[in-house]
Homo-oligomer: A and B are copies of this chain.
Amino acid sequence: MRTEVRELKSVKLRSPILIEGLPGLALVGRLAVGYLIEALDAEKFAELYSPHFPYYVIVDEEGRIRLPKGEFYYRRSRDRGPDLILLVGDSQAQTNEGQYEVASCVLEFARKHGVRTIITVGGYRTEEGGSKVMCASTSRELLERAVRAGATVSPAGSPIVGIAGLLLGLTAFTDMEALCLLGETKGHIPDPRAAKNVLKVLTGLLGLEIDFSELDKIIDEASRIEGILTEIEAGEERERVDRRGRRPGYIV
């Protein structure tokens, strides 16, 4: 088995923009691009398989199983905005070379479909978990468009790890340009709030209008769960402190 894209349907697109959101930190990219697929009613037309994805299969609600994979959706331009290819999936590659191989395979697929612009979406961790969206790009013009749409230019030196970064880096050997949007997150658990922050920049940049009301419900639910978890943790912490007369941190 090789890393390869299997096309389910022959689709011709006009200079589409590829938007990548494979799972990463706090699932920000996965949540954002997954929501966009729903909101735009995009259609699946290709799948990516790789021996560098984890060696397990996933069981769905009906007991059916499938390999981990990447999924390409497309959505033709309507009133305004470009044709889109949207990439989500179950996992990133599990090894260093696998990461390069999967990213190269995505780029080759993009090239074949006439993609000129790639936007990757992910999260970046801060202690506060604020609401910024960082951007970095291979193109000054694309970077400026992201800034005008509300993003902040990423500070120098910070590495962008995984496919969200590699896809940008590997465009150097193509005629594509690429942009990365990273939503600020504490990074503990899936963070739909960060996904919304990224989506606001992304849709602004693309001239798209989508309905955020479903995402807002998910955010409310996540806040509720996080609140419960925080209380439980605080309770456990108090118990530990009581039992020992001091915080465990002092021991180690």
- Chain A: residues with CB nearer than 8 A to chain B? 1, 6, 51-52, 54-67, 94-101, 104, 135-138, 140, 143, 153-162, 165-166, 168-170, 172-173, 180, 243, 250
Contact = CB atoms under 8 A, between A and B. Distances in A.
B136 A64 contact: yes
Contacts of A169: 57, 65-67
Given A57-B169, A59-B158, A59-B160, A97 B65 contact: no
How many chain copies does the complex carry?
4
Contact of A137 (B65, B104, B156): B65
B137 A67 contact: no
B59 A156 contact: yes
Given A94-B96, A101-B51, A59 B166 contact: no
A243 B249 CA distance: 13
Given A52-B97, A55-B96, A55-B100, A63 B153 contact: yes
A96 B136 contact: no
Given A54-B159, A62-B156, A63-B153, 17 more contacts: A6-B173, A51-B96, A52-B96, A52-B97, A55-B99, A56-B165, A59-B154, A59-B158, A59-B160, A64-B140, A65-B138, A65-B165, A66-B169, A67-B169, A95-B96, A95-B97, A243-B250
Contact of A57 (B65, B156, B160): B160
B57 A159 contact: yes
Contacts of A166: 55-57, 67
A65 B96 contact: no
A136 B64 CA distance: 6
Nearest to A147: B63
Residue picked from A54, A97, A157, most chain B C-beta under 10 Å: A97
A120 to B, nearest CB: 10
A136 B63 contact: yes
A87 to B, nearest CB: 17
Nearest to A96: B94
A148 to B, nearest CB: 13
B61 A168 contact: no
A11 to B, nearest CB: 21
B97 A63 contact: no
A1 B101 contact: yes
Given A1-B101, A158-B59, A170-B67, A54 B94 contact: no
Contacts of A96: 51-52, 54-55, 94-95, 98
